[in-house]
């Protein structure tokens, strides 16, 4: 009895799938844009079988990281469609079109929105400035944007403090490897201090996990588990995950629940302190944390919508902010280990600016600008060009057709409703039309290689290189660009200053069993296989690195 039923169901599903794919192809073909038709949505299956034709690797997860610009070069177009039975996606490595999609407005006068599934992922802990749309987004931005830059003095100071503690730890333990977790721990300490005036001394994750019975250790374990299993926390509510028989899922559910608990506790603790100090009628000082600045600028009533908005935004600042900064810093460290000549340039710049003064006595107000157009800034921008926080930025067209410009002499294209546009951040930052340097060939420009000097000011100038508008968008663009960009820049600068004033980084030779070139090639190979979790992250173990005192 069941066999005919299953067979009928399978045939109906296949028929519906074929009909849906045919209908969407009919929608795309008249537009004259290259397209690929795939029978199912992206999954790991194509990678498992090692299929290399575009129609196969387009069905893999994170192909954008591995292909970079190469698929656009292959088809001879900076835009192309991927059509599956369920949706049509236009992949974009055209900077003019990217600017319009990210900063332009749709037919209703609002910015183009993200597909709902992506907002639900980022909205796991409440609606916030990253997930809200339209008028609600403007309310969130009105609250957060004016105050995000008021804690930069604290960011600089705490970044140096965290790195000083990290150096002290490794200085006593020769050949102990560092990792992404080390910098995640440092940036967590920075955002905790800048966000809530919460002091968290730096320590390796293993120590924190061993001390999980105290509040700080428990919080770090909670974040560690959440980052490692973020996709499960997005798929299902915490209470469901905690009821399932699988340990990993139960831990993911518990981590999501505990994160909310810790954030609520920090929020209430800081709010009570502000109220007790009776400071809400005064203007914030340069040392005010994010929450204090938010409360002072907006006021706060218990249980109000404003309180909910503040808490949701502080959660996303903590969760996403320290994660992206940590991985950018760690990636830069690995690049500097692979290209030690840039460490020398960086250290020479630090020495020339600071002279004999103590770097721990520097401040944001007096020293940030001095480093904002030199090697530290160039290293940060080049690191993010090669490995941005996100591989793609998805948007969707509203209910009416929209016309988009295209770079060069290409005619604009009008797209029908119901199409998703995926802005390929890495594809844009590897597009040779915009990254081949004047007077050089594409090969000489080494677009896929770490070359921070491409950003340095020309002789007689003090301004960093400005790429073609839309070809470099790791922080997005327009009014919905990342409001934490300056925060991240200050944090990166202070941490690089704290590290390389006294230290250098090199690959661990594993007792002489591994040469520098072997470690460098291993590192490059791992960087080719990053995947999207919360940010782009390595899928395997990166080579060991260690800190050494400058000679």
Q: Are strands 88-92 and 419-424 parallel, antiparallel or unpaired?
A: parallel
Give the dihedral of Cα atoms 475, 476, 478, 482; nearest 10 deg: -40
Separation in Å, CA 386 to CA 272, 343, 490, 499, 524: 44, 18, 20, 22, 12
Q: What is the pLDDT of residue 207?
A: 66
Closest to 124 (Cα-Cα) out of 262, 236, 242: 236
Nearest Cα residue to 433 out of 406, 413, 458: 406
The answer to whether residue 102 sits within a structural domain is yes
Distance CA 242, CA 250 (A): 4
DSSP β-bridge partners for residue 392: 424
Which single residue is written with the structure tokens 């107000």? Answer: 365
Task: Give the residue among 32, 35, 105, 24 at the shortest CA–CA distance from 412.
Answer: 32
Answer yes or no: is 482 a known binding residue: yes
* Structural domain that includes position 124: 16-134+396-422
* Separation of alpha carbons 34 and 28, rounded Å: 9
Helices (H), 37-78: 45-49, 54-57, 63-67, 70-75
CA quadruple 306, 307, 311, 314: dihedral positive or negative? positive
Question: Cα 524 to chain center, whole Å?
Answer: 19
What pLDDT does 473 receive?
A: 94
Strand ranges (E), 410-523: 413-415, 419-424, 503-507
List the alpha helices (DSSP H) in 145-246: 152-171, 180-196, 205-210, 215-228, 230-235, 238-241
CA 551/CA 549 separation, integer angstroms: 6
Buried residues in 319-345 as b, exposed as e (16+ CB within 10 A): bbbbbbbbbbbbbbbbbbbbbeebbeb
Contact between residue 6 and residue 24 where contact means Cβ atoms under 8 Å apart: no
E strand or H helix at 136 = helix 134-144
CA 127 to chain centre: 19
pLDDT given for residue 295 in this prediction: 66
- Give the model's pLDDT for residue 124: 65
Contact 489, 475 (CB under 8 A): no
> What does the pLDDT read at residue 47?
46
Round to whole Å and give the CA distance between 319 and 270. Answer: 18
Both tokens assigned to 114: 């993200």
Beta bridge partners of 415: 402
Q: What is the pLDDT of residue 48?
A: 42
The answer to whether residue 197 is domain-embedded is no
78 domain residue, yes or no? yes
Residue 103 lies in a domain: yes
Q: How many domains does the chain have?
A: 1
With CA atoms as reference, report the closest residue to 269 among 195, 204, 321, 329.
Answer: 195
Q: Say if pTM beats, i.e. exceeds, 0.95.
A: no
Could you write out the DSSP letters of every residue in 506-544?
EE--TTTTS-HHHHHHHHHHHHTT-EESSSEE-SSPPPP
Task: Provide the token pair at 39.
Answer: 């029978």
What pLDDT shows up at residue 496? 95
Q: What is the 3-state secondary structure (H, E, C) of 260-279?
A: HHHHHHHHHHHHHHHHHHCC
CB of 177 closer than 8 Å to CB of 508 = yes
User: For residue 76, what are the contacts with CB-CB under 8 A and spacing of at least 6?
Assistant: 34
Tokens in use for 245?
């028989």
* Residue 208 CA from chain centroid, whole number: 25
Q: Establish if 309 belongs to a structural domain.
A: no
Burial class from Cβ neighbours inside 10 Å (0-12, 13-18, 19+) for residue 313 reads buried
For residue 82, tell me if it sits in a domain.
yes
pLDDT of residue 377: 95
How far, in Å, CA of 77 to CA of 280, rounded? Answer: 56
Alpha-carbon separation of residue 137 from 127, 130, 395, 403, 526 (angstroms): 9, 8, 15, 24, 37
Residue from 478, 387, 390 nearest 122 by CA: 390
H helix intervals, 424-484: 425-429, 432-435, 442-445
The reply to whether 218 falls in a domain is: no
Per-residue pLDDT in tens (0 to 9) along the chain, 551 residues:
677 777 888 888 888 788 888 888 888 899 989 998 887 665 544 444 444 455 566 666 677 888 889 889 989 999 999 888 888 999 999 999 999 999 887 666 667 888 877 766 666 667 777 777 778 778 777 777 767 777 888 899 999 999 999 888 887 766 466 678 888 888 888 888 887 777 888 877 666 655 555 555 577 777 777 777 777 777 777 778 778 888 888 888 888 888 777 777 777 777 777 767 655 555 445 566 777 766 665 555 555 566 677 777 777 777 777 788 888 999 999 999 999 999 999 999 999 999 888 888 888 999 999 998 899 999 999 999 999 988 889 998 888 889 899 998 889 999 998 899 999 999 999 999 999 998 889 898 889 999 999 999 887 677 889 999 999 999 988 888 888 889 899 999 999 999 999 889 988 877 667 888 888 998 888 888 887 777 787 877 888 888 888 87
pLDDT at 305 (0 to 100):
64
Q: Does some domain include residue 118?
A: yes
**Residue 346 phi, psi (nearest 5):** -65, -45
């Amino acid at each position: 009895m069941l066999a005919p039923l299953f067979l009928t169901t399978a045939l109906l599903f296949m028929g519906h799938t074929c009909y849906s794919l045919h209908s969407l192809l009919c929608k795309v073909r008249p537009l004259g844009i290259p397209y690929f038709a795939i029978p199912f949505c992206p999954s790991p299956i194509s990678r498992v079988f090692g299929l290399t034709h575009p129609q196969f690797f387009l069905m893999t997860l994170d192909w954008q990281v591995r292909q970079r610009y190469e698929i656009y070069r292959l088809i001879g177009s900076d835009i192309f469609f991927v059509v599956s039975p369920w949706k049509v996606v236009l992949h974009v490595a055209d900077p003019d079109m990217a600017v319009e999609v990210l900063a332009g407005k749709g037919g209703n006068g609002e910015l183009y929105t993200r597909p709902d599934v992506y907002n639900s992922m980022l909205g796991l802990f409440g609606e916030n400035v990253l997930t809200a749309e339209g008028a609600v987004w403007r309310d969130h931005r009105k609250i957060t944007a004016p105050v995000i830059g008021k804690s930069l003095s604290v960011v600089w100071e705490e970044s140096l403090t965290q790195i000083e503690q990290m150096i002290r730890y490794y200085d006593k333990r020769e050949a102990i490897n560092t990792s992404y977790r080390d910098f995640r721990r440092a940036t967590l300490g920075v955002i905790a201090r800048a966000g809530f005036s919460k002091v968290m001394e730096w320590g390796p994750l293993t120590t924190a996990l061993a001390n999980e019975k105290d509040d700080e250790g428990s919080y770090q374990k909670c974040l560690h588990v959440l980052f490692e299993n973020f996709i499960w926390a997005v798929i299902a509510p915490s209470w469901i995950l905690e009821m399932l028989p699988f340990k990993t899922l139960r831990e993911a559910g518990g981590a999501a629940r505990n994160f909310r608990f810790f954030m609520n506790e920090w929020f209430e603790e800081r709010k009570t302190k502000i109220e007790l100090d009776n400071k809400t009628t005064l203007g914030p000082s340069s040392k005010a944390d994010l929450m204090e600045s938010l409360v002072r600028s907006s006021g706060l009533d218990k249980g109000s919508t404003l309180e909910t908005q503040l808490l949701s935004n502080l959660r996303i600042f903590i969760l996403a902010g320290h994660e992206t900064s940590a991985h950018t810093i760690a990636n830069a460290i690995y690049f500097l280990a692979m290209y030690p000549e840039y460490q020398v340039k960086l250290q020479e710049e630090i020495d020339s600016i600071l002279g004999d003064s103590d770097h721990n006595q520097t401040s944001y107000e007096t020293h940030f600008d001095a480093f904002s157009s030199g090697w530290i800034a160039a290293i940060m921008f080049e690191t993010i060009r090669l490995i941005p926080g996100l591989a793609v930025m998805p948007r969707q067209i509203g209910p009416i057709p929209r016309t988009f410009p295209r770079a060069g002499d290409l005619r604009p294209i009008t797209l029908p409703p119901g199409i998703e546009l995926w802005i390929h951040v890495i594809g844009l930052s590897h597009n040779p039309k915009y990254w081949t340097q004047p007077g050089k060939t594409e090969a000489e420009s080494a677009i896929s290689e770490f070359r921070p000097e491409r950003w340095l000011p020309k002789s007689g100038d003090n301004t960093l290189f400005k790429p073609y508008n839309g070809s470099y968008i790791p922080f997005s663009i327009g009014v919905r660009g990342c409001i934490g960009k300056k925060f991240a820049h200050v944090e990166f600068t202070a941490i690089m200053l704290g590290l390389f004033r006294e230290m250098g980084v090199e690959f661990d030779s594993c007792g002489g069993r591994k040469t520098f070139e072997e470690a460098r090639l291993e590192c490059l190979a791992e960087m080719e296989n990053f995947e999207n979790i919360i940010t782009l992250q390595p899928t395997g173990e990166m080579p060991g690195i260690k800190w050494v005192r400058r000679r």
